[in-house]
Amino acid sequence: MNIIDKILIRKEFVDNPPVLLDIGASGSIHPKWKDIARYSICIAFDADDREIGYTVKESSGFKKLYIYNKIVTDKIIGKSEFYLTKSPYCSSLLQPNHESLNNWAFAELFEIEKKVILKAVALPMVLKEIGIHKIDWFKTDSQGIDLRLFDCLGDECINRVLVAEFEPGIINAYEGEDKLWRLMAYMDKHPFWMADINILGTQRICRETINAKLTALDKKMIHILLKTSPCWGEVVYFNMFPAYVMYLDKRDFLLGWIFAVIERQYGFALEIAIGGYKRFDDPIFIQMEEFVYRKIKQRYLKLPLYIGRKIVHKIFRLLGING
């Protein structure tokens, strides 16, 4: 039995399992949750127009899975307009900003094919309905409203979230969207630190130029021929685990450590283990600390091979050899 399993079968999690929230669920388990899914409750939102509230599945890979086939919003509105775009991954509650998008190579993905009215449910009401008072890992890809969905939880709930994962925009892809700069300013005022950011994008070229100047082959190869510019980001935040707060209990320290290991934030995992032992005097934190040291040592042992490869590649470049 590995240490993550050993932790998640403890009494702290028997009646209070990890709670994972997935807004914009893809229909499969988030890869980062693979090793903890069977111990966890997942609340997933996968919008369509079926006349149902939610379904509960206990044979989904999770301990329990709540699936809401509705649009999730930050306010109680009952129904909402929803823009179905050429790419289903770009469909949103917000209207695409075509004037701005016209400057980018992926503009056609945002073409509106249909505007529909869908059932909508407010996130706080969902949590109240199923009796969930705490979210441990908040994950959202809502195409423009990530921040307002997080904010509607209220400070008491927000400050106890252990990991928050967002996919905010950088360019003006949607009318009135929550952009990366606003998310960063917001999180800076709460007890979180940015653990990871992956900037993604497309090519800055307007459709008129593409149609007038590029050949059919050029259009197919445009992502290779032209430089990619930032358009959106994938951002992960961790709770800081401030030493002065008491609302984070032993369960939070145990689970926060697991999340840090999942994210390979071994330095932070070490901090949590040391802090957890000082506060709770439980020997499990010593085992957690030793596990992290082993992980760090494993990476240290790989350094000679990594450095050796870097040196070889540098020599190749100096000699003008591709390799």
Question: For the segment 147-205, what is each residue's pLDDT rounded down to a tens digit?
Answer: 999 999 999 999 999 999 999 999 999 999 999 999 999 999 999 999 999 999 999 98
Q: State the pLDDT confidence band at 56, using cuts at 50, 70 and 90.
A: low
Per-residue pLDDT of 253-271, as tens digits, reads 999 999 999 999 999 999 9
In the predicted structure, residue 215 carries a pLDDT above the cut 70: yes
Residue 78, in any domain of the structure: yes
Token digits of residue 56:
């509960």
**226, 105 contact by CB (below 8 A):** yes
The DSSP secondary-structure symbol of 95 reads P
In the predicted structure, residue 58 carries a pLDDT above the cut 90: no
Scanning the chain, the segments in alpha helix (DSSP H) are 3-8, 11-14, 98-101, 123-130, 146-151, 155-158, 180-187, 207-213, 216-220, 222-225, 250-262, 266-280, 284-319
Which class for 227: exposed (0-12), middle (13-18), buried (19 or more C-beta within 10 A)? exposed
Higher pLDDT, residue 173 or 323: 173
Q: State the pLDDT confidence band at 119, using cuts at 50, 70 and 90.
A: confident
Residue 246, in any domain of the structure: no
Q: State the pLDDT confidence band at 53, using cuts at 50, 70 and 90.
A: very low
Per-residue pLDDT of 71-92, as tens digits, reads 899 988 788 899 999 998 899 9
Q: State the pLDDT confidence band at 69, using cuts at 50, 70 and 90.
A: confident
Residue 309, in any domain of the structure: no
Residue 296, in any domain of the structure: no
Whole domain around residue 8: which residue ranges?
3-240
Q: State the pLDDT confidence band at 51, using cuts at 50, 70 and 90.
A: very low
In the predicted structure, residue 219 carries a pLDDT above the cut 80: no
Determine the pLDDT at residue 27.
Answer: 60
Q: State the pLDDT confidence band at 52, using cuts at 50, 70 and 90.
A: very low
Which amino acid appears at position 36 of this protein?
I
Residue 175, in any domain of the structure: yes
The total of structural domains in the chain comes to: 1
Residue 10, in any domain of the structure: yes
Average pLDDT of the chain, as a whole number: 88
Determine the pLDDT at residue 50.
Answer: 35
What is the pLDDT averaged over residues 64-69?
Answer: 89
Determine the pLDDT at residue 216.
Answer: 74
Determine the pLDDT at residue 321.
Answer: 52
In the predicted structure, residue 12 carries a pLDDT above the cut 70: yes
Residue 134, in any domain of the structure: yes
Report the CATH number that the domain containing residue 223 is assigned in CATH. Answer: 3.40.50
Percent share of the chain, pLDDT over 90? 67
0.85 surpassed by pTM: yes
Residues with Cβ < 8 Å from 101, sequence gap 6 or more? 107, 110, 171, 172, 173
The DSSP secondary-structure symbol of 145 reads -
What is the pLDDT averaged over residues 8-36?
Answer: 90
Residue 257, in any domain of the structure: no
